[in-house]
């Protein structure tokens, strides 16, 4: 990331570490350079090294980078600053990318038809601010905006278009074939195999390889079928995390793209945005079964979907360090990259893994419907027979040793697991 850029319109160098950007006579400068790319000239801001030498590190190391820059916020250890990052080279999609894009849109539309959903290609909102590759509307009115992304795109463009879609009541769903795509974990997403357009257009199955996860919860003991994700053995604590279908125990069947079209539009699968337990600024996005989402919320007794992306919130206070303007291109030197090249994403064994020292009490609470349960005389006799005592003299529970509350509403003590064992016991 660079701490300065060259303004091609004014012919000036801008220092992003200064409150006035190094130009007190230009109060409008900040609003101008931080405007979205589609609202200003793309070649307005230039890499300083490229301006001085005609070549910069970004062009040397990455053929997809341009010398043109964008300004965005970056938050590190609670401090938010302005930084400049290289834009990707703007180009039209190749013929192959265009064919794949078209085939995927047609496949989504066919799947929507089969699942009883309505669809519209290249749908636009009334105000023209949102255009969606395929807008799928479920029987209940839920609208999913599918975006088939086979060409490069910036993370900020993904965020901006997703925010606009959400503001118009559309749930975005980006699909890509690249595990380095900038859209991964920046918006609701799904990754598929990199198939030819003919394979995409065919009736053959198309599996979602990443972007869909299932909730796994277990007590980490020596007898657990899954090893401890913390120490590789067992720790005696409770683990909760989101796993790919193939890594679930027992293994779950993968979801097909055609299935996701219908399941997302009916609410069977829902988008989740979950921060990591150890670092709230790191967020995992995924599509999950609605039942798993409800279990997750019950576990944490709150909605954990809100969080922060790598990009700082728009109202975060900016810290100006008043540093010296650095004319050297720093592309590739830091881990905070704007876009490609990126590490592979979305393939971790577990996402948003959380560990509890003990099982939360709220998970042990007796469900309300069980508290309303009334025992019949036959069930009381069965309980007495199971415990080996007279019905009028029920002693301690054979399962846990707790005394029986013979005068309670059940005729059995309040130990939920043992009570259920007794009620389901057949002598």
Burial of 309 (0-12, 13-18, 19+ CB in 10 A): middle
Helix H or strand E encompassing 191? strand 189-192
Q: Are 194 and 99 in contact, with CB atoms under 8 Å apart?
A: no
Query: What residues form DSSP beta bridges with 119?
Result: 136
pLDDT for the residue numbered 416: 43
Q: Going by C-beta distance under 8 Å and a sequence separation of 6 or more, which residues neighbour residue 72?
A: 34, 82, 83, 85, 156, 311, 338
pLDDT for the residue numbered 94: 76
* CA–CA distances in Å: residue 176 to residues 104, 129, 137, 149, 181: 10, 23, 21, 5, 7
- Per DSSP, 355 falls in state E
pLDDT for the residue numbered 224: 87
pLDDT for the residue numbered 166: 93
Q: Where are the alpha helices (DSSP H) in 231-348?
A: 257-266, 290-300
Query: What residues form DSSP beta bridges with 215?
Result: 242
Residue 236: Cβ within 10 Å count: 11
pLDDT (tens, 9 = 90+) of the chain, 427 residues, equals 789 999 999 999 999 999 999 999 999 999 999 988 778 898 999 999 999 988 888 877 776 678 889 898 887 767 889 999 888 776 667 788 889 999 999 999 999 999 999 999 999 998 888 999 999 999 999 999 999 999 878 787 888 899 999 999 999 999 999 988 889 999 999 999 999 999 999 999 999 999 999 999 888 898 888 888 888 888 888 888 899 999 999 999 999 999 999 999 999 999 998 877 666 567 889 999 999 999 888 877 554 443 334 444 445 688 999 999 988 888 866 433 333 344 555 555 667 677 766 655 555 444 444 333 455 667 767 766 776 666 554 445 545 555 444 433 444 444 444 444 444 333 3
Q: Where are the alpha helices (DSSP H) in 47-154?
A: 48-53, 57-61, 95-114
pLDDT for the residue numbered 400: 53
**What is the C-alpha end-to-end distance of the chain, expressed in Å?**
72
Rounded-to-10 torsion of CA 385, 386, 391, 397: 160
Residue 262: Cβ within 10 Å count: 21
In three-state form (DSSP H/G/I as H, E/B as E, the rest C), the secondary structure along 203-262 is CCCCEEEECECEEEEEECCCCCCCCCCCCCCCCCCEEEEEECHHHCCCCCCCCEHHHHHH
**Phi, psi torsion values for 340, nearest 5 degrees:** -60, 150
Reduced to 3 states (helix: H, G, I; strand: E, B; else coil), residue 81 is strand
Strand duo 131-137 + 143-148: pairing:
antiparallel
Q: Are 386 and 396 in contact, with CB atoms under 8 Å apart?
A: no
pLDDT for the residue numbered 243: 92
Q: Are 362 and 241 in contact, with CB atoms under 8 Å apart?
A: no
Integer Cα distance of 48 and 84 in angstroms: 10
* CA–CA distances in Å: residue 146 to residues 153, 176, 260, 357, 375: 15, 11, 11, 41, 52
Residue 118: Cβ within 10 Å count: 14
∠175-105-176 over CA atoms, to 5°? 15
Burial of 405 (0-12, 13-18, 19+ CB in 10 A): middle
pLDDT for the residue numbered 112: 96
285 CA to centre of own chain: 0
pLDDT for the residue numbered 93: 72
Q: Going by C-beta distance under 8 Å and a sequence separation of 6 or more, which residues neighbour residue 88?
A: 64, 65, 66, 152, 154, 339, 340
């Amino acid at each position: 990331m660079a701490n300065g850029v060259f303004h091609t319109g004014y012919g000036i160098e801008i220092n992003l570490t200064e409150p006035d950007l190094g130009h007190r006579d230009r109060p409008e400068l900040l609003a101008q350079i931080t405007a979205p790319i589609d609202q200003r000239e793309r070649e307005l801001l230039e890499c300083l090294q490229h301006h001085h030498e005609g070549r910069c590190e970004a062009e040397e190391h990455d053929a997809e980078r341009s010398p043109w820059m964008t300004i965005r916020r970056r938050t590190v250890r609670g401090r938010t600053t302005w930084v400049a990052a290289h834009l990707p080279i703007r180009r039209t999609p190749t013929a192959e990318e265009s064919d794949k894009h078209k085939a995927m849109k047609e496949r989504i539309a066919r799947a929507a038809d089969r699942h009883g959903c309505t669809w519209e290609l290249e749908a636009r909102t009334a105000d023209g601010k949102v255009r969606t590759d395929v807008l799928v509307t479920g029987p209940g009115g839920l609208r999913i905006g599918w975006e088939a992304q086979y060409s490069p795109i910036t993370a900020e463009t993904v965020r901006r278009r997703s925010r606009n879609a959400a503001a118009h009541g559309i749930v975005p769903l980006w699909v890509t074939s690249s595990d380095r795509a900038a859209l991964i974990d920046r918006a609701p997403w799904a990754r598929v195999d990199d198939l030819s357009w003919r394979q995409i257009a065919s009736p053959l199955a198309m599996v979602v390889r990443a972007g869909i996860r299932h909730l796994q919860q277990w007590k980490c003991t020596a007898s657990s079928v899954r090893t401890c994700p913390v120490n590789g053995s067992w720790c005696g604590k409770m683990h909760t995390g989101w796993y790919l279908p193939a890594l679930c125990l027992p293994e779950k069947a993968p979801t097909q793209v055609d299935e996701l079209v219908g399941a997302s539009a009916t609410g069977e699968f829902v988008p989740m945005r979950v921060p990591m337990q150890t670092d709230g600024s790191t967020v995992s996005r995924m599509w999950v079964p609605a039942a798993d989402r409800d279990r997750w919320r019950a576990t944490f007794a709150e909605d954990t979907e809100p969080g922060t992306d790598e990009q700082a919130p728009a109202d975060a206070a900016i810290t100006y360090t008043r540093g010296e303007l650095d004319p050297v291109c720093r592309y590739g030197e830091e881990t905070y990259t704007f876009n490609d090249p990126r590490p592979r994403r979305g393939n971790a064994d577990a996402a948003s893994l959380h560990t509890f020292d003990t099982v939360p009490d709220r998970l042990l609470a007796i469900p309300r419907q069980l508290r309303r349960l009334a025992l019949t005389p036959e069930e009381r006799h069965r309980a007495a027979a199971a415990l080996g005592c007279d019905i009028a003299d029920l002693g301690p529970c054979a399962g846990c040793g707790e005394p029986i509350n013979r005068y309670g509403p059940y005729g059995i003590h309040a130990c939920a697991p043992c009570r259920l064992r007794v009620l389901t016991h057949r002598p």
